[in-house]
Structures are given as structure tokens and as C-alpha cells.
Amino acid sequence: MRTYPTPPLDEVELHRILFALSDPTRLAMVTELNVTGELSVGEQLAGEVPKSTLSHHNKILRESGLTACRPEGTRCYISLRKDDLERRFPGLLDTLLSHSTVRHVTH
């Protein structure tokens, strides 16, 4: 089974999180996950972004420590590491997402 490593909580760095969220597509993905909780890669942004582009953005989000991937059969389910991020950087994610104006991604 394929693995999707995420950094341990003590290795999650603020500058990587801010970089990951600086892209409108990734910010939209995180905003969507914040609302839904967990989505398969195919459900993310409802077909607005090509699958290869989603894979690239998911990798950046996962490697920054923002998301985790749970493989199930041939699917991969993405979730926001909200509780972990709250422990590491209290209030950061809520603050960033509350100021987000991302509603729709164009490509």
C-alpha cells in the first residue's frame, strides 16, 4: 500500500504553512477541507482543477503539515490536520481562514 508521509507535529514550520497557503488554489482546498472534514482527491474542488494539478497541490499541503492523506483501496482521502495545527500554532488556521476571500478557483 502506498504511504503519504506527513511531518511530525514538532517539525511543522510556520514559513512552510504560510507558503502553502499563499497559493489561491491551495487556500481554496484548505478552506474546503475546513468545511467538509475529509474529501477524496476526486471530490476536491469538484472538477475545477485538473487531477495532476491537485496532486501537486496536495503534496505541498501534506509536506507543509497542513493535511494528512488516508489511503483506502484505490482512493486517497485528504483531511486537514486542524487539531494538530491548533496545538502547534494556536489560532493560526482559524485566523487565516477567517480572512480568506477565496470562493472560487480559476485556472
15 located within any domain: yes
Measured distance CA(86)–CA(40) in Å, rounded: 23
β-pair partners for 68: 79
> Considering only CA atoms, which of 44, 14, 33 is closest in space to residue 80?
33
Task: List, for residues 78-105, the tens digit of each pLDDT value.
Answer: 999 999 999 999 999 999 888 766 554 4
Identify whether 1 is part of a domain.
no
Residue 2 lies in a domain: no
In a domain, 35, yes or no: yes
Q: What is the pTM of this model?
A: 0.87
DSSP annotation of 83: H
Q: Which residues form the domain of 25? A: 9-96
Tens digits of residue pLDDT in 29-82: 999 999 999 998 888 887 788 888 888 999 999 999 999 999 888 888 999 999
Question: Is there a domain that residue 48 lies in?
Answer: yes
Confirm whether 72 is domain-assigned: yes
Order across the sheet with 67-72: list the strands. Answer: 38-40, 75-80, 67-72
Largest CA distance in the chain: 38
Domain assignment present for 79:
yes
Any idea what the CATH number is for the domain that residue 73 is in?
1.10.10.10
pLDDT of residue 102: 58
Return the pLDDT at 86: 96
pLDDT for res 106:
41
Backbone torsions φ then ψ of 79, nearest 5 degrees = -135, 155
Quote the CA–CA distance of 77 and 40 in Å, as a whole number: 4
- The count of domains in the chain is 1
Distance CA 40, CA 70 (A): 9
Q: Is residue 103 part of a domain?
A: no
